[in-house]
Structure 1
Amino acid sequence: MGIIGSTIQPFKATAFQKGKDFFEVSDEDLKGKWAVFFFYPADFTFVCPTELEDLGEKYHMLQQMGVDVYAVSTDTHFSHKAWHDTSEKIGKLEFAFLGDQNHILANNFGVLREGAGLADRATFVVDPDGVIQIMEITCEGVGRNANELTRKIKAAQYVRENPGQVCPAAWEEGSETLAPSLDLVGKL
């Protein structure tokens, strides 16, 4: 999947967000910002609310890091609102939920399940230039970890802000980084 390093495709979607009316979101709204697209199969399901609640616990930290968060499923914005209004876990979430009933986003990101009309459990991190820097896709029964997502975003932001530096495995903010060079070849 040659999606890493590619630019997100144009889109428009209607969003639901706690405390707001429905509103439109497009690729134009992302310019100059970091964004997470957090695809999940469907509203009113089982693993999805646990993942979304976990992500919600990191939402304010992500906002402080300059990251917008968009939960995306092929449900409508009306379904997102109904789920928000009836689920204790979902009702406390503050990030935007995008309706993708026309499958534009799921197709653009390559995560639409053929013949099912549902998105895979997938996460994409887009940089301020609209370039996809991180992706993660898991099988139906495996939930994601917002701590790991946050760590990866911090690493991507560090690399962007520090050209010539890379973050090694399990890098945490404040840890040593590497400067790739011939001097390191064969010594790691």
Structure 2
Amino acid sequence: MSLVGKEIEPFKAEAYHAGKDEFITVTDEDLKGKWSIVVFYPADFTFVCPTELEDVQNHYETFKELGAEVYSVSTDTHFVHKAWHDHSDAISKLEYIMIGDPSQTISRNFDVLDEELGLAQRGTFLIDPDGVVQAAEINADGIGRDASVLVRKLKAAQYVRENPGEACPAKWEEGSETLAPSLDLVGKI
């Protein structure tokens, strides 16, 4: 069942705030009141994961300029996140919040938990300021994600929210034409 259009479920977890080099508590309420991007990944000290998280960091300033905060989540603890940050060239660049989910609650809430392995799948969720999921993507373990695609999705979601009755077509970029779905367009695109 898709989470798109549904409000996120309650959670409370410990996290490592890489940009501030401190441990913090994060709840579902922290993801509300602004745009949030939640990036699940299988595990710290792995192979594809650091390439993805570094790519998200490379776009982090853009996400912040667009009013979004980024949260990465794995079933590791916040202590392991700190150790990984201290020992990985790619992860040491991160400035965003790394949530630990050893209870697997958040991974279950977002339906990305591989129950057999006890690890999160590569899930990406775009959450609006009301705490409602606007976009969701889940990739197989061997398929890394591209954060530039996430930037475009965030801009499109923000545009649609600010312009009710309009829709962003495929490959929409900021400033390009949108659609106003209506009876007049049926069969004409």
1:28: Cα distance to partner?
Answer: 1.4
Contiguous gaps of at least 5 residues in structure 1? none
* Number of equivalent positions: 188
Match of 2:64 in 1: 63
Distance 1:135 1:45 in 2: 23
Q: Which runs of 4+ in 1 moved over 3 A?
A: none
SS in 1 for 2:114: coil
Question: How big is each residue's C-alpha offset from its partner over 1:84-143, in whole Å with a ceiling of 9 and x where there is no partner?
Answer: 000010001101000000001000000000211100011001100000000011111000
Match of 1:43 in 2: 44
1:151: Cα distance to partner?
Answer: 0.3
SS in 1 for 2:148: helix
Equivalent residues in 2 for 1:27-176 (5 A)? Answer: 27-176=28-177
2:8 pairs with 1:3 = no
Distance 2:34 2:119 in 1: 27
Distance 1:27 1:142 in 2: 28
Match of 1:12 in 2: 12
Question: How big is each residue's C-alpha offset from its partner over 1:156-179, in whole Å with a ceiling of 9 and x where there is no partner?
Answer: 000000000000001011110000
SS in 1 for 2:130: coil
SS in 1 for 2:22: coil
SS in 1 for 2:61: helix
Distance 1:101 1:137 in 2: 20
SS in 2 for 1:88: coil
The one-letter amino acid paired with 2:62 is: M
What's the C-alpha RMSD, in Å, of the aligned pairs? 0.7
TM-score, length basis structure 2: 0.98
Distance 1:61 1:162 in 2: 21
Distance 2:11 2:113 in 1: 15
SS in 1 for 2:85: helix
Contiguous gaps of at least 5 residues in structure 2? none
Distance 2:55 2:32 in 1: 26
Question: How big is each residue's C-alpha offset from its partner over 1:18-68, in whole Å with a ceiling of 9 and x where there is no partner?
Answer: 223201010112221110110000000000000011110000110110101
Distance 1:34 1:162 in 2: 16
TM-score, length basis structure 1: 0.98
Distance 1:108 1:9 in 2: 6
